[in-house]
Amino acid sequence: MKKSLAHTVWECKYHIVWVPKKRRRVIFGSLRWEIGVILRRLCEYKGVELVEGKACIDHIHVCASIPPKYAAAIVGYLKGKSSMIVFEKYSKLKRNFKGHSFWARGYYVSTVGLDETKIRKYIQDQEENESIEDKYDTDLSNPF
């Protein structure tokens, strides 16, 4: 659905993926749920619509409708603020990550265009794909 600003009509959707530092497999249990809540709240603050999202054990997938005034720069905001909130709530993580760098430096971003349904299905299927991989790595008691 197209949205508008003062003199602009827009429909900008992005598929964004980012990983924890050193792609550690740390996003599970209550942290996984908490990251979802944090990202939804941060998106709401900036007027970004979170169309689809999935917190996988070692990466995050997001399909978001982002106003043109922010474009893909919103990713830095989401990663930075969510990292600070995660460290504040889960202070034991400080020992395993240098500084407040919970997320790795880079990220992947792609415009969605006409393939929105395919991308949303891909994001939804991430959990199923990971469960196949996780059959071979079941010891998640200490991911570090």
Buried b (16+ CB within 10 A) or exposed e, 85-123: bbbeeeeebeeebeeeebbeeebebeebeeebeebbebb
- Residue 122 annotated as catalytic: yes
Please tell me which residue in 70, 77, 90, 122 is annotated as part of the active site.
122
Q: In what order do the strands lie in the sheet with 13-18?
A: 49-55, 60-65, 13-18, 108-111
Catalytic annotation, residues: 122
